[in-house]
Amino acid sequence: MSQKDNLFLTVSEVQQRIINHTKAVEGIEQVDLRQALNRILAKDVTATFNTPPCDNSAMDGYAFLSQDITGSDPLTLRIVGHSFAGHPYQGKVASGEAIRIMTGAQVPVDVDTVVMQEHTETPDEHTVKITTVPKAFANVRKEGDDLTTGHTFLTQGKKISPTDLAFLATQGIAEVHVTRKLRVAFFSTGDELRSIGETLGEGDIYDSNRYSLYGLLKNMDVELIDMGVIPDDRDAIETAFINASNMADAVITSGGVSVGEADFVKETLEKIGQINFWKIAMKPGKPLAYGTMGKSVFFGLPGNPVAVIATFYQFVQPALKRMKGQTSVLPLMIQAKTSEFIKKRAGRTDFQRGILEQSETGELTVRNAGMQASHVLTAMSQANCFMVIPADSGCIEVGQMVDVQPFEGLTD
């Protein structure tokens, strides 16, 4: 490593610094159960009754007493009634008796075993012959199998999934405490940037980062404040930063933080906030400005379109998750076998755009999604993962294992 390289921070150092620095915003909302989907739970939820609330049948069949079982000998029992889902049997069941029972129907206290219908014959409407005798207590779902009264079944900080909606519904819970939505302001900087609908002059390009950021943030279920394109002008930049930080919990910009950019972005940020300018040993996405401006957290992402997405995914998303009160924040990393030679120069951690596939035998393989340059969206669009290749690694031969981060919210 050269002297200059020593100034670089690693991806995980920066992740740790950001995670240590950000904390959950204050504010709790009580929302209807359906509105709680994908929100972050602000309080633990405890069961107030057992679920299932009573013993019930796991099968369509006949319920009877296990004491009637004598080894595997067929049993002939008298049918004394029935228990259907929502229509429990009200009478008694004695030895030598059975009731017809359906899946989910209450198993009366007297009986403890259910035989599935397929293992029975009914010579007449009052008689059931059990041809294949089940084990005692078979096919009965016990009261409280899933939840017992007092058990904390969802903990603060969990992102509420479709399953969790069902889980809460089993407890009859109509409203849930969730953390309030984050307000995130974002804008692009650069004199070359035109917004859609404007005509491109010579050397101009359309602002695309505001759209990737829109999508990434939308998928995180935050309130968006799109502040448009801000020209490379000292006053305009300062006004935009101040406005954004007054409105939002987090401010995200792209462009203007790389070496060679007009110094006033840096000067402005230093004047109105406590901002660190980091050089990160990653590719794409070397420069990153991070800190606080007023009450808001600030992220100055690099301008290149792929670098925006890569740095958002590694640093902004974990920080916003923390701010939402989420407990699990870092991107999932798994391993896959390379099905192609992967070009890599030692020095920085590469986040190469990859296509993760599953072979017929179930093996995960990964290949290059196309041209790996930080201004090229083609491969980023084709990709469904980042291949994370460590800083000290050189090229990777076919058949080697590499770390892979499947995209969350970028592709489906």
Of 314, 410, 399, 323, nearest to 365 by C-alpha is 399
Partner that binds at residue 318, options Mg ion, ligand AMP, none, CB closer than 5 to 8 Å by kind: none
- Compose the 61-90 pattern: x for residues touching ligand AMP by CB under 6 A, - for all others: ------------------------------
> CA 47: distance to chain centroid?
24
- Which parts of 115-174 interact with ligand AMP (CB under 6 A)? none
Q: Is 284 in the site for ligand AMP (CB under 6 A)?
A: no
- Number of chain positions touching ligand AMP (CB under 6 A): 18
The contacts of residue 345 (CB under 8 Å, 6+ apart) are 394
- Compose the 223-262 pattern: x for residues touching Mg ion by CB under 5 A, - for all others: --------------------------------xx------
Partner that binds at residue 192, options Mg ion, ligand AMP, none, CB closer than 5 to 8 Å by kind: ligand AMP
Of 303, 292, 294, 182, nearest to 253 by C-alpha is 303
Q: Is 188 in the site for ligand AMP (CB under 6 A)?
A: yes
Tokens 């029975």: give the residue. Answer: 120
Residue 164's Cβ-count burial label (10 Å; 0-12, 13-18, 19+) is: buried
Measured in degrees and rounded to the nearest 5, phi and psi for residue 219 equal: -65, -20
Which 8-state DSSP code applies to residue 313? I
- Nearest distance, CB of residue 9 and ligand AMP, angstroms: 18
Residue type, 24: A
- Nearest distance, CB of residue 262 and Mg ion, angstroms: 8
Q: Is 261 in the site for ligand AMP (CB under 6 A)?
A: yes
**Piece of the chain touching ligand AMP by CB under 6 A; list 106-114, 204-212, 342-350, 397-405:** 204-212
Between residues 77 and 193, which has the closer beta carbon with respect to Mg ion?
193
How many Å apart are CA 254 and CA 58, to the nearest integer? Answer: 56
Between residues 113 and 189, which has the closer beta carbon with respect to Mg ion?
189
Task: Residue 14: count other Cβ atoms within 10 Å of its Cβ.
Answer: 23
Between residues 50 and 208, which has the closer beta carbon with respect to ligand AMP?
208
The H or E element containing residue 21 is helix 11-21
- Choice from 103, 258, 292, 384 touching ligand AMP (CB under 6 A): 258
Between residues 57 and 372, which has the closer beta carbon with respect to ligand AMP?
372
- Choice from 108, 256, 284, 285 touching ligand AMP (CB under 6 A): 256
Between residues 262 and 330, which has the closer beta carbon with respect to Mg ion?
262
How many Å apart are CA 111 and CA 95, to the nearest integer? Answer: 9
Q: Is 305 in the site for Mg ion (CB under 5 A)?
A: no
**Piece of the chain touching ligand AMP by CB under 6 A; list 5-13, 169-177, 203-211, 327-335:** 203-211
- Compose the 291-310 pattern: x for residues touching ligand AMP by CB under 6 A, - for all others: -----------xxxx-----
Q: Is 284 in the site for Mg ion (CB under 5 A)?
A: no
How many Å apart are CA 400 and CA 342, to the nearest integer? Answer: 10
How many Å apart are CA 182 and CA 188, to the nearest integer? Answer: 20
Kindly state the tokens that stand for 7: 């100034």
- Nearest distance, CB of residue 229 and Mg ion, angstroms: 11
User: Cβ distance 117 to 132 under 8 Å?
Assistant: no
Chain residue whose CB lies nearest ligand AMP: 303
Strands 75-83 and 127-130: what pairing?
A: antiparallel
Task: Residue 108: count other Cβ atoms within 10 Å of its Cβ.
Answer: 20
Binding site for ligand AMP (CB under 6 A): 188, 190, 192-193, 205, 207-210, 254-256, 258, 261, 302-305
Binding site for Mg ion (CB under 5 A): 190, 255-256, 303
